[in-house]
Amino acid sequence: MNLDKDLQSIQEARTLAAKAKEAQLEFKHYNQEQVDKIVKAMADAGYKEAERLARMAYEETGFGKVADKTIKNQFGTKDVWESIKDLKTVGVIDVQKNGKILKIAEPMGVVAALVPSTNPTSTAMFKAIISLKCRNGIVVSHHPKALKCTTEALRVVSEAAEKAGAPKGLIQCLTIPTLEGTDALMKDKNIAVILATGGMPMVHAAYSSGKPAYGVGSGNVPAFIERTANYQKAVADIIYGTTFDKGTLCSSEQAMIVDRSLREKVIDEAKRIGCYFVNAEEKKKLENKVARGAKLNADIVGKPASWIANYAGFSVPENTTVLIAECDKVGKDEPLSIEKLSPMLAFYTVDGWLEGCHRSIELLEFGGIGHTMAIHSNDKEIIMKFALEKPAFRIVVNTPASVGAVGYTTGLMPSMTLGPGTWGGSIISENVTAKHLMNVKTLAFETRPVNPGNCVTSFDLPSDMNIKSSYQEGNFTKQIEERLRARAGNPSTNPLGNVSRKSVSEKHSALLGSGISEDEIQKIIREFNK
């Protein structure tokens, strides 16, 4: 019987979610050394194949440029691994209040990951890495325009994970991408949480699925050049940001706001490095082609400036880096004030930092609230005023916004998924990373007795104990961790080897044990009291 494509996609989503869940039920009992060995292998493999995967993504989607996609792939693997390699995600991860509070990590389950066509390979590998770091499985739903490259990126990290000891089937990817299949995946009983990166309709669908979801928002990013700024560096940073991978990052600069005292210097500098300021007629042509009713024409996303100009009906020098249009308003009456996801900038002149502040807020509220903005200034007081007043959760200073917001040129956590907070319709205002994909149990002793009596009141451990160090030294926290992992009757594992495999029928009864035995509890207490 021949099934329609949407029905095939729905069935595939259900099948893959079930396979990932089966593998995750085994993987959840791995210890920290095993998990880290697997995740590092994934990061190393993705980093090694960064350029090849970048080329595949460019050839399949037509977005951006290979060199920048290579950087994104390297960043989404190696940089991300370096940022999370010391994060404890198994067993006891924190001890507080002199042993009265213990924090214990648990995986969420299976992650449904939505991956966009603008950053397909980097986002897919990033999400797989942070998911497995927390002992989750993952099923990826990718954009139809990026099927081959996304599938290949996940094959690379999946093979590396399995060679390093991960259960087979932990990383899955839809091969029949449809809206119906993606919707079925998000609502599947085996899915625990959704990581939604992509267009706003899909993000909203994730929020409506009935499952916990981390979503992104649009990023209509303003960049303000204040009068005390190093204007040459500021211009270079903004142009770098908006041209990086042809503007396909949601944190890419969309508007340049300049203090009037620097206006002519900034214009001259921008022209010197290849920017083209459109005239009134050319601006009108751009508006008609780029922004239709304040909605972005997807045909121009990730295209070079010269291509966009030709598409709009005028010509510019072939080496033009960015198209810049002077604007005096924000909103539907100023079509180029939208998020453009391409090497184009709206250009605003303001009188002083306060007007620059208001203009930045207008742009954020029009299409990027909660996301990102940049300020270029050497006045610390003004920088702080911007930080306090702007409705953006990433305010980067004297650096390109596109790569600063993701953590490439700043101290922010490296991430390919940027939360816009409740202002942007998301529950998270941070850069999403591994710490957001684990559940944390709390063991809490009594601190205010309501009844008298002698009893254990803590584990008598030092406050703010270094869990990583104690784990390496093999003391009590490691033993706790191993017993929590093992549960009653679970097979012991070689810290750097494969977990012993059992049949499905045996596995479910063995791996879901009833807990730590009384003898084990007594042993732990005795060791504490030594």
Coil/strand/helix, residue 103: strand
Burial of 380 (0-12, 13-18, 19+ CB in 10 A): exposed
Query: In the block, which residue shows the tokens 């990373």?
Result: 433
pTM for this structure? Answer: 0.86
Query: Which residue ranges form the domains of the chain, and what is each CATH number?
Result: 5-216 (3.40.605.10), 221-416 (3.40.309.10)
Kindly report, residue by residue over 363-401, the tens digit of the pLDDT.
999 989 999 999 999 999 999 998 998 899 999 999 999
Please say if the pLDDT value at position 61 is more than 80: yes
Kindly report, residue by residue over 408-441, the tens digit of the pLDDT.
999 999 999 999 999 988 889 999 999 999 999 9
Catalytic annotation, residues: 250
Query: Which is more confidently placed, 422 or 512?
Result: 422
CA distances from 390 to 146, 175, 338, 368, 492 (A): 35, 42, 18, 11, 53
What pLDDT is attached to residue 478?
A: 54
Please say if the pLDDT value at position 103 is more than 90: yes
Contact predicate 424/371, CB 8 Å: yes
E strand or H helix that includes residue 55: helix 50-61
Please say if the pLDDT value at position 467 is more than 90: no
Mean of pLDDT over the chain: 87
What pLDDT is attached to residue 58?
A: 96
DSSP class of residue 491?
P
